[in-house]
Structure 1
Amino acid sequence: MAQELMSPRRPNAGARAVPVALGGMLGAGIFVAVGPAFAAAGWWSLLGVPLAALVAGCCALATAHQAAVYQGPGPAYSCIRARVGVVPARMSAAAHIAGHLAALAAIAGLIGDLLFPASSAGAAAVTILLAVLAATAGLRIRAAANWLRLGLMLAVLALVVAVCFAITPVPSTAMAMPEDDSAVGITGAAGVFLFAFLGLDRVIAAADEQDRDGRRAVRRTVVVSLVTASVLLLVLAVALLHQLGPARLALSPVPVIDALGAAAAGELRPVVSAGIAVALLPVLLGVLESLRSTALAAVRDGDLPAVLARTGPAGTPFPLDLAAGAGAALIAALVDPVPATAFASCAVLVHFAFTNAGARLSLPEERTWAMRSACLGMGLSVVLAMSMPVPAMLATLAVVILGPVLAGTFSGRWS
């Protein structure tokens, strides 16, 4: 098993790319995002799933083009810096790094709530520390380990869905409709659901050059992964809606656990909680790897201190990993998983808007459909980001303002 985990073989060759992508996407978003999405749009939030998948697909194709053109870490950041400008690149990098720090906090916070609800903040900090130590040691989940992890996640989802449909829900909670149920909130729901589609960049723009694949394989992986994740998210959302009803689902911080209680299946909570936690632990490694890629590109261009890129015996930038872990642990201690998820989605959407803008400017004129996809992704990213909760938007605005200021102050270059 150790050889499988550390195998140098490419994880995204052929069929191995799908479990890597799905393993990255089926994280905290699929378990946390359903509740806030229903709070934004009620029944209409189900339409937010394909909309979020469309945005993720456009951004994935744009990132794939950038990864093919720009070598080294952070291809999206490099493309934005070369095509759009230094300040937009710094804004995008700040949003990407902050969003992934919040994603780390949200995932670790969910694990803490599942396993140690009485001391979830401490458990989240310990979880992040373990992930940082594993990443610093060079641990990467590959080969059969990805299939095992994906199988565990699917088994947990199947168990929850079966319980939700097997037990007749209480009529008063099954049919109650929230008063603010409206199609206007679809874009807000889609923005939250986007968190369930993060992770494709582990295949498309992997940190290591040897892990990147060709255009045709990337397209196949994007389509299969997005369709599969969308179907699973919709099935789970319908099952939770059936058991909890829209009103209760909209108020639930962890709908999966609340659905087990509503279905009188509370004895399954330890099994489901442990299964989700084990399946989520490797997701933290993927999020940290994505954050590391953009941060290393910023270090290369002088926007972050060079000491962050110092490598240890395993060849990993341990100062960067430790700094990211400390930041994520602080966020987990101060912010619950639901608002952390909203902020992460909003920040990543801002990064996606810049990513698509950079791809649009760098694409050759004959690739008409690719340019249209980039324009569509850029527009939808802006719309979804503007539809997120006000606290998430304000926090993202602060990040994109302070990030370039700090980078410019550190590097001494403002353009």
Structure 2
Amino acid sequence: MPLARVLRLRDATVIGLGSMIGAGVFAVWAPALGAAGSGILIALAVAAFVAFANATSSAQLAAVHPVAGGTYAYARAEIGPWSGFIAGWCFVVGKVASCAAMAMTFAAYAAPEGWQLPVAVIAVAMLTAVNCFGVTRTALLTRILVLVSLLGLAVVVAAGGTAVATGASPQPLPAATAYGILQGAGLLFFAFAGYARIATMGEEVTDPARTIPRAIILALAGAVTVYVLVGATVVLTLGASVLISAAPLVDVLAAAGWSAATPVVRVAAAAAALGALLALLTGIGRTSLAMARENDIPRFFARIDERWQVPRRAEIAIGVLVIGIVLLADLRGAIGFSSFGVLLYYLIANVAAFRQRPEARRYPRALQIAGALACILLVSTLPTEASLVGTGVVLAGVVYRMLRLRIRRAQSETRPR
């Protein structure tokens, strides 16, 4: 059974924007500034360029392959089954880590001290339930959460502008190094990767060849604008003190004397994290559905609920995995591991777009080459622990598929002809 095509341009754009705004604007500044130091805005520009190159590759591929699964489906069609599997595996494991990071961010802003862990688990369980009752409900809730998030961010930028105008003197940031800037860009890329959610939902978008490329570019442009404004505000208001801040955007309000607005920003942060978590869960479920249809994971997860037309089994399984990571991991580790998986995913997306025929081409091949090389460069500068864990998980996926193929081959040989 196919998924229902019910999402229009506005819905698809909001889902992508919700993923990107919530994915890092409240969570990524401390680790990114710790790596990039005074070069944070350069790191942000590098991350935005890599995201743009990757987004155009995704848009070009989505216009030709309007099916669920994103780069998993594109790479299977343009390169081969193994490339598709690695892309899908990297996406699923990387984005499961992103979900855990968003649940932790939500709890950090919304829950009182000592209650963060149970609140994060409850958030994952509730949004998994929302996803099980239809994608139109997902789109509506995401739209509401994005509006609340943007309101809170507008308050932060206004407060930071007031602090700068009245002569705020933030602590100077550590000196930038080329390696630190690249590592910071790799961590910031975690925040921009939300446009993938639009591509993974290609089977639920109306007029996908037109809608998906437009939604990807619109969502990315909006997210870059928001990140530049908020990043500049954090740097000019807090400086190096952000490195020890658990909630930097709340600290911007304190520095500006706007402490009365703190509840607004906490609500906005919680809404942004929930919006990103909701969209992430949706995207992972669709990629898992595509992988199950091709027998790359058990076909048990390929079933689509007849009433609500969603891959309910896949959604529930993903929710359980995210809750497990929330219980075991920390925020910085989740962000680094997520960036590792997502950068490999987009490396394969760029290669797949490069291999497309001339009649399918919307963007020059030079952009895809630049995107692929940038993914390799950024993934090589990520924290060592995240890279080692990520490499181990990718290798585990390769071994799993090899064993699965061997078992299927043995079963086919023993079947009576």
Both proteins in one fold, TM over 0.5: yes
Shift of 1:211: 3.6
What is the percent sequence identity of the aligned residues? Answer: 27
Asked whether 1:149 is paired with 2:145, we answer yes
Asked whether 1:260 is paired with 2:260, we answer no
Q: Which amino acid aligns with 1:48?
A: A
Runs of 5+ unmatched residues, structure 1: 1-6
**Alignment partner of 2:188 out of 186, 190, 193:** 193
Residue in structure 1 matched with residue 117 of structure 2 by the alignment: 121
State how far apart, in whole Å, the 2-side matches of 1:367 and 1:28 are. 30
Q: Which amino acid aligns with 2:157?
A: V
Conserved 8 A contact 2:150-2:268 = no
Give the 3-state SS of the residue equivalent to 1:27 in structure 2. helix
Conserved 8 A contact 2:183-2:381 = yes
Q: Which amino acid aligns with 1:70?
A: H
Conserved 8 A contact 1:36-1:251 = no
Please identify, of 164-173 and 114-123, the stretch whose mean Cα deviation from structure 2 is larger: 164-173
**Alignment partner of 1:389 out of 383, 388, 402:** 383
Asked whether 1:335 is paired with 2:332, we answer no
**Aligned residues between the structures:** 404
Asked whether 1:95 is paired with 2:90, we answer yes
Conserved 8 A contact 1:57-1:222 = no
**Alignment partner of 1:374 out of 355, 368, 373:** 368
State how far apart, in whole Å, the 1-side matches of 2:205 and 2:144 are. 23
Shift of 1:264: 4.6
State how far apart, in whole Å, the 1-side matches of 2:359 and 2:140 are. 41
Please identify, of 373-382 and 168-177, the stretch whose mean Cα deviation from structure 2 is larger: 168-177
Shift of 1:74: 1.4
RMSD: 2.8
> Which structure 2 residues correspond to residues 103-114 of structure 1 after superposition, within 5 A?
103-114=98-109
Residue in structure 2 matched with residue 56 of structure 1 by the alignment: 51
Q: Which amino acid aligns with 2:329?
A: V
CA 1:403–1:172 in structure 2 vs 1: closer, same or farther (change >3 Å)? Answer: same
Please identify, of 123-132 and 294-303, the stretch whose mean Cα deviation from structure 2 is larger: 294-303
Shift of 1:129: 0.2
Conserved 8 A contact 1:105-1:329 = yes
CA 1:148–1:320 in structure 2 vs 1: closer, same or farther (change >3 Å)? Answer: closer
Residue in structure 2 matched with residue 3 of structure 1 by the alignment: none
Q: Deviations over 1:135-173 (max 9, x none)?
A: 112253577766543332221001112222323699997
State how far apart, in whole Å, the 1-side matches of 2:45 and 2:294 are. 37
Shift of 1:37: 1.3
Please identify, of 155-164 and 65-74, the stretch whose mean Cα deviation from structure 2 is larger: 65-74
CA 1:205–1:291 in structure 2 vs 1: closer, same or farther (change >3 Å)? Answer: closer
Shift of 1:406: 1.3
Conserved 8 A contact 1:39-1:251 = no
Asked whether 1:306 is paired with 2:302, we answer no
Q: Deviations over 1:26-58 (max 9, x none)?
A: 113111112211111112121122221222222
Asked whether 1:176 is paired with 2:172, we answer yes
Alignment TM-score, normalising by the size of structure 2: 0.87
CA 1:207–1:129 in structure 2 vs 1: closer, same or farther (change >3 Å)? Answer: farther
Asked whether 1:272 is paired with 2:265, we answer yes
Shift of 1:234: 1.4
Residue in structure 1 matched with residue 353 of structure 2 by the alignment: 359
Q: Which amino acid aligns with 2:294?
A: D
